[in-house]
Amino acid sequence: MSRTILFLCPHNAAKSVIAVAYFEQLVTQYGLDFRATSAGTEPDDKPATAVIEMLEKEGIDVSKHVPRHVTREELAEAFRVVSLGCDVSELAPAELAIAHWDDVPPPSQNLMVARDKILRHVERLVNVLRQAD
């Protein structure tokens, strides 16, 4: 049974999209039984164009991603929840542990710095999951 990591960012258009892309790539590379999904608290209509273009240059297609609103149910069912600037305190069960990657700057300010920070966080998370598996 695959375990789900839920990545959250306010608009579900940039940070969480990048996190899912790299997470999926790494778990596939290591043969881990995890999957990733993403959502937001104030979803945009579409992913950020700059994010689509950046990931496309790396061979990752996120152009079909549709930003969506996080639900109480998926918060409760996720194996792990990672927040990149989201406040889900009103939706999340009280006992839910949420990892906060609040050091990631807005991609609109500096996409490559945001990308690098997200990638480092994702690599650390995947290493923790590999050791626990």
Q: What is the pLDDT of residues 64-119, one digit of tens each?
A: 999 999 999 999 999 999 999 999 988 888 888 999 999 999 999 999 999 999 99
| Percentage of the residues of the chain whose pLDDT score is greater than 70 | 98
Tokens describing residue 81: 């929840």
Place domain 3-132 in its CATH homologous superfamily: Response regulator (3.40.50.2300)
Please say if the pLDDT value at position 12 is more than 80.
yes
Confidence at 1, pLDDT banded by 50, 70, 90: low
Q: Looking at residue 7, what is its pLDDT?
A: 98
Per DSSP, which regions of 1-133 are E strands? 3-8, 34-39, 80-83, 98-100
